[in-house]
Amino acid sequence: MDSATDQAAVTLRAATDELRPAVERLAQLYRHDMSEFLGFLPGDDGSFTYRTLPLFFGEPGRRAYLLHHGATLAGFSLIRELPGGAHSIAAFFIVRALRRQDVGRRAALALLRSQPGPWGIAFQEANKGAARFWRQVATAAVGTAWVEEQRPVPPPAPAGLPPDTWILLDTRITELSGEPTATGT
């Protein structure tokens, strides 16, 4: 990428019902990526089932966002509230052409900034890229003021998966300065 493209703003856009088809298409790519770690298989029609996706378009405490790099659609994320008021990144996806170009980190920090307070981020240790990415994001967000814990993968994930690693942090601890902002929230 050239330097002008590298400096494009990274923004979040709340995914309304009108934008739902874009999230649904990107979610197929996400499920394909995660199939390596979570054992997802496509159905007879070639598509991956994502039973909880509709909940992010109407259930209180859940939100879907489209992530943009400049004018380019870069990915999506799903956010849900956890018991006790914390938020969790339930899904996070950046298209492969924009990975390792700081777009994902900037988008993740914008998500964390969009809801100041406690957050939980889960990933599989077998997904080495995600493990490295989320630890770097946590450090960028709050320095060393984050912890990890292991939790069983909840159903409907296939039985026998190793536990998820959860990063727990609170974005009220450190001001996230100079990072992208959320729009349309």
Write the DSSP string, 153-183: PPTTSPTTPPPEEEEEEETTSS---S---EE
- Give the model's confidence band at 70: pLDDT under 50 very low, under 70 low, under 90 confident, else very high: very high
Q: Which of 84-121 are b and which e, b meaning 16 or more Cβ less than 10 Å from the residue's Cβ? A: eebbbbbbbbbbeebeebebbbbbbbbbbbbbeebbbb
**In 3-state terms, what secondary structure has residue 66?**
strand
- Give the model's confidence band at 175: pLDDT under 50 very low, under 70 low, under 90 confident, else very high: very low
CA torsion sign for 35, 38, 41, 43 is negative
Average pLDDT of span 89-117: 93
Q: Which amino acid is at 127?
A: N
pLDDT digits (tens, 9 = 90+) for 14-48: 999 999 999 999 988 888 888 777 778 778 887 88
Residue 185 has pLDDT above 60, yes or no: no
Element (H, E) at 105: helix 103-114
pTM, two decimals, is 0.84
The position carrying tokens 């859940």 is 62
Residue 182 has pLDDT above 50, yes or no: no
pLDDT digits (tens, 9 = 90+) for 144-153: 999 999 998 8
